[in-house]
Amino acid sequence: MLKTKFGRNPNPRVVIYVRMSSNRQNPRSPDQQIATIKDTLKRLGLNWQVVEVYRDDAISGRYFRKRPGFRKMLRDLKSGVLRADYILVDTFERLSRAENNAEIRRMLVKAGVLVLTADSQFSDPNSVSGRALSFMETYRASEECHVKAHNVLRGKKDAIRQGKWPGGPAPFGFYLKNVMVVRKGVEELDHRVLVPIPELKWIVEFIFTLSAQENFGPVRISKKLNSHPDIPSHLKPFTEATVASILRNELYYGEMVWGKNCTGIEDDVRVLQSIPEEEWEVNSEFCEAIITKELWQQSMQMIKSRRHRVTEPDPDGQDAAHSVLRPRGVALKYPLSGLVVCSFCGRAMVSSASSAYTTKAGEVHNYASYGCPGYRSGACDNDRRVPESWLRETVIQLVKDRLFPH
């Protein structure tokens, strides 16, 4: 049985957890954090037994499920594979982002283990002084997190205003050109700018022409591209998602529109949130254009006219159905999304639902299934669709059988 009372065991078993956000962030490496924790134990005269060390290198503290070291530690403690009284960290910030502190603490208390920090001298977190230190620690980490986020945001906005690439890979049809400067007699990278690739301009123009003038959607365009003899094989396959992202991107007519959305965390799941248009950062002369703004706007108009429609009973009670636009941003969520993989090509299979239909009993249903996105674009031969309800029930039963064997 794991202990949650501080000081009950005079010779507690402890585990150490260390993390570094990225190779460029936090000069205190995981090895330095381990050394600090062990030095603090020695200085305080604590003869605690370190039974395991868990680490996550160059991984953000924002999402628990993307941290294999943290997840393994939690799994070992919960399952009883490893018995420990405390988790030792350099600072609580290494365990989680400030906004997740309370949730993390509750999660670990349920696992029967307390978190102690070297910067608080491993004091009892349940004592009056320990709670005060914990509050101050959380407040400090929260403020530091907000300052860092503000500085990053301001830096990206300043870069966009000056025509500098704010970060991330270049969109299809562009490359990132290094702009060098000489500082103290040494040439070094100052920033990058987005430049069209001449050999790929005709492909981008072809994509937008198919959308704007032929009324092709991303699926038909991707099939057209994958079968085109003049497009080099190393650029294939084009997927529906790739084409859709190209068609939505203002950079192709030279304008950078940044900050349309932001991400929030709900139940350890990233949720996309829209930002008001007046808060967007826009540079209408960010880079050299590949197509005209008029062609891009024509394409967007066609995309809006092709929005998915759902069938609903006629409001006047007639048997005929009428079509209405599906509200933007509304998506059906399935518990196995992102976990189902195509056995042919290894792509993550995507879920889709049929139009709503009414049974004889008057119940409204949707038929949902998983399919390989590569098949629709011609990049995969797997044309099979797996019923979502059958797969969900099968997986649940397998989990039950594994957890509660007869």
**pLDDT (tens digit per residue) in 170-207:** 999 999 999 999 998 999 999 999 999 999 999 999 99
Q: How confident is the model at residue 30 (pLDDT cuts 50, 70, 90)?
A: confident
Q: Are residues 301 and 328 in the same domain?
A: no
Residue 26: inside a domain, yes or no?
yes
Q: Are residues 238 and 208 in the same domain?
A: yes
* Phi and psi based region of residue 138 (left: phi greater than 0; alpha: psi -120 to 50; beta: remaining): alpha
Residue 155: inside a domain, yes or no?
no
Residue 153: inside a domain, yes or no?
no
CB-CB contact of 219 with 306 (8 Å)? no
State the Cα–Cα distance between residues 286 and 345, nearest whole angstrom: 38
Q: Are residues 339 and 392 in the same domain?
A: yes
Tell me which residue range forms the domain holding 101: 13-147
Question: Percent of the chain at pLDDT above 90?
Answer: 35
Is the pLDDT reported for residue 270 higher than 80?
A: no
Q: Which range, of 72-76, 149-153, 182-186, averages the lowest pLDDT?
A: 149-153
Q: Which range, of 20-24, 212-216, 391-395, averages the lowest pLDDT?
A: 20-24
Residue 5: inside a domain, yes or no?
no
In 268-349, where do the E strands start and end? 269-274, 281-283, 309-313, 321-325
pLDDT of residue 102: 60
Q: What is the DSSP string of 183-225?
A: ETTEEEEEEEEEEE-GGGHHHHHHHHHHHHHS---HHHHHHHH
Residue 20: inside a domain, yes or no?
yes
How many other β-carbons are positioned within 10 Å of the β-carbon of residue 98? Answer: 19
Dihedral sign computed on CA atoms, order 78, 79, 80, 82: negative
Q: What is the DSSP letter of 339?
A: T
Q: Please, what is the Cα angle at 196 between 195 and 199, to 5 degrees? A: 140
- When divided into structural domains, the chain yields a total of 3
Q: Which residues contact 100 (CB under 8 A, 6 or more apart)?
A: 61, 62, 64, 265
* CATH number of the domain within which 246 lies: 3.90.1750.20
Q: Are residues 260 and 328 in the same domain?
A: no
Q: Are residues 380 and 278 in the same domain?
A: no
CB-CB contact of 281 with 161 (8 Å)? yes
Q: Give counts: helices (H), strands (E), the chain.
A: 11, 17
State the Cα–Cα distance between residues 189 and 179, nearest whole angstrom: 6
CB-CB contact of 238 with 246 (8 Å)? no
State the Cα–Cα distance between residues 336 and 339, nearest whole angstrom: 5
pLDDT of residue 331: 41
- Average pLDDT over every residue of 331-347: 75
Q: Are residues 116 and 134 in the same domain?
A: yes
pLDDT of residue 323: 37
Q: Are residues 349 and 265 in the same domain?
A: no
Q: Are residues 299 and 313 in the same domain?
A: no
State the Cα–Cα distance between residues 327 and 307, nearest whole angstrom: 10
* Phi and psi based region of residue 333 (left: phi greater than 0; alpha: psi -120 to 50; beta: remaining): beta
The pTM score is: 0.52
* CATH number of the domain within which 101 lies: 3.40.50.1390
Tens of pLDDT, residue by residue over 86-138, are 999 988 777 765 555 566 766 776 777 888 888 888 877 666 665 666 556 65
Q: Where are the alpha helices (DSSP H) in 46-118?
A: 68-79, 92-95, 101-110
Q: Are strands 49-56 and 13-19 parallel, antiparallel or unpaired?
A: parallel
Residue 386: inside a domain, yes or no?
yes
Is the pLDDT reported for residue 72 higher than 60?
A: yes
Q: Are residues 298 and 342 in the same domain?
A: no
- Average pLDDT over every residue of 55-61: 71
Residue 25: inside a domain, yes or no?
yes
Q: Are residues 21 and 143 in the same domain?
A: yes
Q: Are residues 71 and 136 in the same domain?
A: yes
Q: Are residues 27 and 125 in the same domain?
A: yes
Residue 196: cis peptide before it, omega within 30 degrees of 0? no
State the Cα–Cα distance between residues 383 and 370, nearest whole angstrom: 11
pLDDT of residue 327: 42
Is the pLDDT reported for residue 263 higher than 80?
A: no
